[in-house]
Amino acid sequence: MPDTLPVPIADDLVCSDSGGIALLASRERATSRICFPARPESDARYDRVVLPRTGRLWSWTVQRFRPKSPPYAGPDAFEPYAVGYVELDGALIVEGRLVDAAFDDLDIGMAMRIVPLPFLLADGSLRTSFGFAPDRGAGI
């Protein structure tokens, strides 16, 4: 994987390196509470942290109908997709799209990893978002 990705869909969301993609968060200095997505680096109440790249599927569902427009701006030819909550190792639970697995193969507790997802804006420009895919190299 290259060390750079297309521009993130939002500031303070993802970063990349030779190990892949990771999510950016903030740790509140006063309480050690972790916040996702990351707060602006100019906010002195927080330190920037990189979240673990792996975790376990905590819960999930399938979006089987085209969401209301607006705000949905996706293609008219809607295809169902899975959305889940993944408990990142020792950090917090993050919601994201689930990819690279058949719906029937998803299971609570399965090992997951963060993956980059391309996101095409209405103007045709490409951005990077994130999702979760099964971590087939991890034991359950």
Q: Which residues pair with 61 in a beta bridge?
A: 83
What confidence score (pLDDT) does residue 1 get?
Answer: 40
Q: Residues 122, 127, 130, 134: is their CA dihedral positive or negative?
A: positive
pLDDT tens, residue by residue, 29-87:
999 999 999 999 899 999 999 999 999 999 999 999 887 776 666 777 788 999 999 99
pLDDT tens, residue by residue, 1-42:
444 566 888 878 888 877 788 999 999 999 999 999 999 989
More confident residue, 134 or 89: 134
What confidence score (pLDDT) does residue 114 get?
Answer: 95
Assigned token pair, 97: 């799209």
Torsion angle of the four alpha carbons 100, 96, 69, 40, in this order, in degrees rounded to the nearest 10: -140
What confidence score (pLDDT) does residue 68 get?
Answer: 78
Integer Cα distance of 10 and 72 in angstroms: 17
Assigned token pair, 101: 């697995």
